[in-house]
Structures are given as structure tokens and as C-alpha cells.
Chain A
């Protein structure tokens, strides 16, 4: 798994700009070409949505909206966004298919899952 921390609002804003630019591409192109990004909001001590489904090669970006720092940390410790203060985002790219349960390392009652499906035709 490849992780990338975007520790400031401004840097996250730039990432968001890219995401918005991608959103403007024709739907057919987005559906078949390249990797996708999915966003999970961390707010009021919960991951929203708590379960996301992606394809191999896609990324998930966690954006922390709480005052308290959070993480997204794989149950087995295979990947970890590290500490995300308020307004910060962390991105993980998933290279293998499977079911990834994760928690916040600081608040272990916060649970989520990333389901990574094989890429069609791959």
C-alpha cells in the first residue's frame, strides 16, 4: 500500500482541485480510465461512509473534520494514514484486492472498511 499524507488544509485543497478537475471529465472516460479517488470524511468520531468499495489501484482519502486528531489504520497494521489533525487529509492507494478493516488508532471504537475489488478485464 502506498500512503501519502497531505498534512495541511492548503495542500489538501490542491488535491481537491485535482479531484474536481477529474469530476469534469466525461463520465465514460472516468468510468474506464485510470485510478479513482474516494473520499471518506472523519467527523464526530465516525468514518463516513464507514464502508467504501474501490478497484485495485484506486485511492481513498480520509479528511478529518474533528478537532481531535484521528488516523485510519489497517487492523493488521498493513497501512496507516498516520495522525491527521483537524483539516488534514491522508491518502492510501490500494494495490491488491481484498477486504481491509481499519480503525482509528487513537479511538479504537471508530471502525471502517475498504473493500478492494479486482479491476475488470485486468
Chain B
């Protein structure tokens, strides 16, 4: 339930962010948030590798580190090529705050309880990020190579979402 309420809170932040700020996110803010979102998932994965003893969960976590590192590395290369600096913004800060609270919650768990909480959060997190990238970031971004990178990243994150769905189903978590 906590995972769901966090996801909803973040979704609300995403949905209302433009209205509150008065204008849509610019390319540099979108780049910052996309990079931040990847970094957050890498941190969750390191926590999973430190805590989980479940082979499927550990395999998933290793894939998250491998894939999100590759995407963020490509983003770093693009940002260097374009010679721009991504801009911190309210959505990036909301994601970081939400992730910090979620990590505190996960850190208190072990065994199957941890695995289920991690897996459920991965599913909710990828759903939220994918919706944001597909419906907000890609339509808004103006620089062609950044749009192309986001489209490639979305293909990766969608595979993760499907993988997370499978992981949650396999774990047979109660409630």
C-alpha cells in the first residue's frame, strides 16, 4: 500500500508539475530528470543486491544496474557532445525525495518481505517513469538527439516494466 501511495503521490507531482510551475519542462530539465530517475533505480538495485537472497530478484537488480548505467552513460555522452548542463528541477527533487523515503522503508525489511516490497516498487516506479517519459518528456523535448535517446531509453524501461511484472507474479506476494 505504501508503494502504491508513493507512486500516486509522484504521479500527482508529475501531472500537476507543469500547472504549478506555469510552464512545461525544458530540454535541460527533462534530461536532468531522466538521468536522475535512472540513478535512483541503480541505487534501489544496489540495496537489493545487499539484502536479497532471491536469485530472480538479484538477477533483476543486476540488469537494472547494467541497463540504467548504459542509458545514463549515453545521456552523459550526449550532454557532453551538446555542451549543455542539465537543470535540476521540482520533478527531479520530488523523485529524489520519494526515493529516499522508499529506501528507508526498504532498508527496514529482510527476506521475502524485502523482495516483495522491492519488486512491487520496481513495477510501480517503472510504470510511473515510462508514463512520464512517453506522455510528457518525448512530446515536449525539442532537440532531436535527446528525443532519440529518450525513445531508446523508453524501450529499455518498458522491457524492465515487463520484467518487473513477471518478477512480482513469480514472487507470489500476498496482498
**Prevailing SS type, chain B contact patch:** helix
Question: Is A7 an interface position by the 8 A CB rule?
Answer: no
Question: Is A27 an interface position by the 8 A CB rule?
Answer: no
Q: Please determine whether A68 and B70 come into contact, CB atoms closer than 8 angstroms.
A: yes
Residues of B within 8 A of A86 (CB): 70, 74
Q: Mark A65-83, 1 if CB is under 8 A from B, else 0.
A: 0111100000000000001
Q: Please determine whether A67 and B166 come into contact, CB atoms closer than 8 angstroms.
A: no
Question: Is A9 an interface position by the 8 A CB rule?
Answer: no
Q: Known contacts A85-B70, A86-B74: does B155 contact A66 (CB below 8 Å)?
A: yes
Question: Is B27 an interface position by the 8 A CB rule?
Answer: no
**Top 6 A-B residue pairs of the complex, sorted by shortest distance between their CB atoms:** A68-B67, A45-B159, A68-B156, A67-B152, A44-B155, A106-B63
Tell me the residues in window 118-175 of chain B with beta carbons closer than 8 Å to chain A beta carbons. 149, 152-153, 155-156, 158-159, 162-163, 166
**Prevailing SS type, chain A contact patch:** loop
Give the CA-CA distance A85 to B67 in the complex, in Å.
10
Partner of B166, one of A69, A83, A85, A109: A109
Q: How large is the interface on A (under 10, 10 to 19, 20 to 34, 35 or more residues)?
A: 10 to 19
Q: Please determine whether A68 and B71 come into contact, CB atoms closer than 8 angstroms.
A: yes
Give the CA-CA distance A84 to B103 in the complex, in Å.
31
Question: Is B66 an interface position by the 8 A CB rule?
Answer: yes
Question: Is A30 an interface position by the 8 A CB rule?
Answer: no
Residues of B within 8 A of A119 (CB): none
Closest A residue by C-beta to B73? A67
Q: Min CB distance, A73 to chain B, in Å?
A: 13
Q: Mark B43-76, 1 if CB is under 8 A from A, else 0.
A: 0000000000000000000110011001100100
Residues of A within 8 A of B158 (CB): 45
Q: Please determine whether B166 and A45 come into contact, CB atoms closer than 8 angstroms.
A: no
Closest A residue by C-beta to B74? A67
Q: Please determine whether A67 and B162 come into contact, CB atoms closer than 8 angstroms.
A: no
Give the CA-CA distance A109 to B71 in the complex, in Å.
20
Question: Is A107 an interface position by the 8 A CB rule?
Answer: yes
